[in-house]
Amino acid sequence: MTHPWSNHYPPGVAATLAPLAHSSLPEMLVAVAKEFDSALAFTACLPNGMNGSLTFAQVDRHSDAFAAYLREDLRLEPGDRVAVQMPNGLAYPVVAFGILKAGCVLVNTNPLYTASEIAQQYTDADVSAVVVVDMFADRLAPTLASLGDPPVVLVQLTEFFPRYVANTVRLVQRVWSRTLPRITFPATRLVDALRSGAMRAPADPSTYWRDIGPDTLAALQYTGGTTGVSKGAMLTHGNLLSNAEQMLQLIGGAIRPGLECVLTALPLYHIFAFTVNLLGFVEARTTCWCLHPDPRRTSSEPWKSTRSPGSPGSTPCSMRCAKSDGSSTTRQLTCAPR
């Protein structure tokens, strides 16, 4: 069989991938955390400049705790589906990696979905638990009964921010902008879930994921629904690892391991940012900068981003963010059909 498209690959890019270095996403995540434990992994910045950060070691520890919470407290089994409905923020990698480490299946969900859209997707995915940002939790409330009242974990926009910063933002949300709806259903705060998981975690967290292989289902990624009802694409650990490796090979020397700061304007619940910005650049040992849901109002100061992956439609927004402080260090990495 001939592959004519390989004739258009950049010089030095092989026509086929070499065997994957890791058999599962948790194996890759743990390996990166051990190598770059104290290095900055994620920074979340709000439009007003308030921000928080996590190192690779902190993300690894917190995601281990969340995996233990899912398995020990909620008694979920490998293969159970866990929906995640939140914008970009420090909680996203902790929760997403924890789900994968628990051997469960990640179901990315747009936090702006209406109650009917949530019900359709969660029913189709057969979710066993839901992680939702509290700002939009009122949209989830009408659907819980029809879903069998799955356990819910509530996330704040300012998770892992310094306490005084988080308290200030919460005060503004509660009193000034009034963006925190009343929670009318039983739920566990993420901080409490992590505390409980840390206490009940096994001595060797890999016991949850050591049997995961390349063919094990990792995520249900739902389509945009432009041609009908949104449908879930079944993505295995091997699929996502291969996609990340393909991306890294195609951009070649454009990425310097451990030296890049990636501007992430696209939402991580979208397959592009999930594969490229999150998994791909974590594997490349870069700092992944996660922005507020409205990145047009956020400056890249003072982190001096060096890369901004995105699609043609997101390029103007990304570059405005990068140049808002007068910086000329950011380079756009654009994926577009020819």
Six-digit token string for 187: 């739920």
Q: Is residue 7 assigned to a domain?
A: no
Reported as a single tens digit per residue, the pLDDT across 203-244 is 999 999 999 999 999 999 998 777 778 889 999 999 999 999
Which of 185-189, 207-211, 299-303 has the weakest average pLDDT? 299-303
In a domain, 2, yes or no: no
Q: Please report, for residues 51, 188, 260, 318, 321, the alpha-carbon distance to residue 300 in angstroms, rounded to integers and kept in the order given.
A: 11, 33, 14, 10, 6
Is residue 3 situated within a structural domain? no
Distance from C-alpha of 41 to C-alpha of 261, rounded to nearest angstrom: 9
Q: The domain containing residue 193 runs over which residues?
A: 18-334
Q: Residues 18-37: what's their mean pLDDT?
A: 94
Residue 8 resides in a domain: no
User: Taking the mean position of all CA atoms in its chain, how far away is CA 125?
Assistant: 18
pLDDT value at residue 228:
78
Token pair for residue 315? 């390029």
83 located within any domain: yes
6 in a structural domain = no
**Residue 199: CA count within 13 A, CB half-sphere:** 6
Look at residue 176 and tell me if it is in a domain.
Answer: yes
If one counts the domains in the chain, the total is 1
Residue 105 · residue 81 · CB < 8 Å = yes
Residues 74-100, mean pLDDT to the nearest whole number: 96
Q: Which residue matches tokens 């979340």?
A: 44
Q: Taking 80 as the threshold, does the pLDDT of residue 276 lie above it?
A: yes
Task: Say what the pLDDT of residue 224 is.
Answer: 77
- Secondary structure of 28-83 as H, E, C letters: HHHHHHHHCCCCEEEEEECCCCCEEEEEHHHHHHHHHHHHHHHHHHCCCCCCCEEE
Q: Does a structural domain hold residue 167?
A: yes
Burial code (b: 16+ CB inside 10 Å, e: under 16) for 176-190 equals eeeebeeeeeebbeb
Q: What is the CATH number of the domain that holds 138?
A: 3.40.50.12780
Nearest partner of 102 among 218, 5, 189, judged by Cα = 218
